[in-house]
Amino acid sequence: MTNKKIWATTLALLLSALICDSKTGVPCPPKCKCRFRQKSAKCGGLQTIPKLPHYVKHVLFAGTNFTTVSDVLLFNLSQNTIASLDFVDTNTVNVEPDAFSAFLNLTHLSFDSNRKLNPDVVPAFLNQTLNLHEINLESNGWNSIPVFMFAGLQDSLLKKISLKNNNIKYVSASFFSDVHSLEQLDLSRNDLTEFNTTGFESTNILTVNIGFNHLLHIPSFCGPLGTKTGNYTTLDLTSNPVYSLNQSSFSCLRNLRTLKLDEISVRELKNNTFADLPRLRSLKMNSNSVHINRIELSAFNSSSLQRLSFGANRFRFDRQNNSNLRMFSFSAELVP
């Protein structure tokens, strides 16, 4: 008797679950992998976008054929509360201005490895994607980007922009000056030989990555009148052929905490090179590409430095007798 009851209840539950599912639940479509806990879906090999389970908020398309990204293509996603969209190697050439305008919860968007994507289409869709916090435009093979790519975005919420791993030869801070909310900019792995920071003063810039470019000098972070152009906390200049540093290389950076100078090309380190950085806590200077043959005694003079990473520089500390250790006595906060 009790057994029968249990069976009946189980059956009833199963049936109602099935009915419920067919009413509201959309199963994970073929060619997609959905993960309930991450609220994500990853889809490949598609020409159109199927309906996705209602819990999906983060979608990555990879290896699809979405030549034009438009509101029509994205129609099925408008049933979900989409927070992030990544288009990686999606064969995209064009993005229509209003493609994302219905996605009010979209905060993260990427178009990566889309070598046919026309950079001129970016401003119009950015201007209509109102709640975006982060845009990644990486590995698209761009040699240049339009001056107006980020123009007209005074009211946007964009905090992070990445143009990493293109072949961009020229860009300057003035390209980003309308993006008042900007905090992080990644221009690493491009072909920049210079970078003019004038224009950052109208943003909230904190972190700049210009690593893996062709800079011969540390860019000036001061504006034309010697005023600061931003409130930088982190600078990454890794792997640039910078051949000389001195105390004036790091002006107007009074809030800088982290400085990455691995793989640069200096032969000597002069006294007080980092002394004008009163908040500097972490300095990385590994694998200099040429032999550092001279380090002046108070080169690392700093009242704030806590972590110094200085290896693989072919600098023989043992040759310079006891001045080696005295050198670090000028960095009172340095933890050995």
Binding site for ligand NAG (CB under 6 A): 29, 48-51, 65, 67, 75-76, 81, 104-105, 123-124, 127, 151-152, 174, 196, 198-199, 217, 224, 231, 233, 244, 246-248, 255, 271-272, 275, 296-298, 301, 320-321, 330
CA proximity to 29, closest of 12, 45, 13, 5: 45
CA proximity to 136, closest of 187, 183, 210: 187
Tell me how crowded residue 161 is: count the other CB atoms within 10 A of its CB.
23
For ligand NAG, which is the closer residue by CB, 102 or 124? 124
Cβ atoms of 182 and 156 closer than 8 Å: no
Smallest separation (angstroms) from ligand NAG to the CB of 111: 16
Smallest separation (angstroms) from ligand NAG to the CB of 136: 20
Q: Alpha helix locations (H) across the chain? A: 2-24, 122-126, 323-328
Amino acid at 250: F
For ligand NAG, which is the closer residue by CB, 176 or 189? 176
What pairs with residue 269 in β-bridges? Answer: 295
DSSP state of 83: -
Smallest separation (angstroms) from ligand NAG to the CB of 268: 10
For ligand NAG, which is the closer residue by CB, 49 or 165? 49
For ligand NAG, which is the closer residue by CB, 50 or 241? 50
| Residue 246, token pair as written in the block | 């001195």
Smallest separation (angstroms) from ligand NAG to the CB of 61: 13
Smallest separation (angstroms) from ligand NAG to the CB of 208: 14
Q: Compute the C-alpha angle 86/30/13, nearest 5°.
A: 110
For ligand NAG, which is the closer residue by CB, 2 or 321? 321
Residue nearest to ligand NAG (CB): 152
